[in-house]
Amino acid sequence: VLAYSFAKAGCPTVMPDLFHGDPVPASALSDPSSSFNMTAWRARPPHARVAVIITSAIRSRRGALEAKRLAAAGYCFGGNSIARFLAERRGVDAGFTAQLSAVLAEEWEAVAGPISIACSSTMPRNRTNAESIFFEGNEIYQTSLFANAEHGFAVRTNLTDKKKAFAQGSAHFQAVR
């Protein structure tokens, strides 16, 4: 659904399978009695393997499809990949991410292109750390803060709650513009 929403907004879209067919089941995120082990799952897709998949997707877009400039979006698990691939000569020219929980300071410090970040007010330290790094480095960045938006709000949230629906819709608009 997320890739479709990017394509519908007019963005040529590639969505590589970073998990080798092993995604987190939807029920694990919504069912409190789920026996899914998130800690064990997070250990399975090593960053080196994910980096190879992303590099291949970048080469495909730049090569056969002759993309001159390339933007990328990452949510939750993919957020730190956006920071890594916005580093000098890694292949991404501009990026968007929602959620900053897994991004290290040195990854933010290496960002060499424009970045737009949708932030939850429930994780203030992550936002302020990133902003201070970008401010000191004079980077081109944008942050948007969404009140009481939970982790994952930009991808999955309770759309019957007007505040949460606003946060998700606004984050999507932020990503595609």
All domains of the chain in start order, with CATH: 2-176 (3.40.50.1820)
| Confidence at 96, pLDDT banded by 50, 70, 90 | very high
Q: Considering the entire predicted model, what is its pTM?
A: 0.86
Query: Distance between CA atoms of 111 and 168, rounded to whole angstroms?
Result: 25
129 in Cβ contact with 144 (< 8 Å): no
* Predicted confidence (pLDDT) per residue in 41-90, tens digit: 877 767 778 899 999 999 888 887 777 888 999 988 788 889 999 998 88
Burial of residue 30, with CB atoms counted within 10 A of its CB: 0-12 exposed, 13-18 middle, 19 or more buried = exposed
Paired residues of 72 in beta bridges: 95
pLDDT for 138 equals 67
- Name the residue among 73, 110, 62 with its Cα closest to residue 88: 110
Paired residues of 118 in beta bridges: 98, 144
Q: Is 116 helix (H, G, I), strand (E, B) or coil?
A: strand
* Predicted confidence (pLDDT) per residue in 103-155, tens digit: 888 999 999 999 999 998 887 888 888 899 998 886 799 999 998 888 888 88
123 in Cβ contact with 152 (< 8 Å): no
Query: Distance between CA atoms of 107 and 86, rounded to whole angstroms?
Result: 9
